[in-house]
Amino acid sequence: MHQYQGTTTIEFKLDEAGHLISAKIQKSSGYSMLDDAAMSILKNRWRFPPGEPRWHVKDFVFQLK
């Protein structure tokens, strides 16, 4: 069994309704499985409040404990 660990950094933009309008991997974890998981979490699980259109940069840390 593989024990992948790493940090994926994603840059993303939200519109005024809080909807995700673009997202890209700014820095890979080195594992496509972790990068894909981070992007999936951002797109399918996170919700954002309305506000000004805005850019964010977020680290997704995958760490075994």
Q: What is the pLDDT of residue 19?
A: 96
Higher pLDDT: 65 or 62? It is 62
Distance between CA 18 and CA 48 in Å, rounded?
A: 5
Read off the pLDDT of residues 4-21 as tens digits, 9 standing for 90 and up.
999 999 999 999 999 999
The Cα–Cα gap between 56 and 63 comes to 22
- Indicate the SS3 state at residue 26: strand
For residue 2, what pLDDT is reported?
Answer: 73
Instruction: For 25-46, write each residue's pLDDT tens digit.
Output: 999 999 999 999 999 999 999 9
Residue 60 has pLDDT above 70, yes or no: yes
The pLDDT, as a whole number, for residue 1 is 53
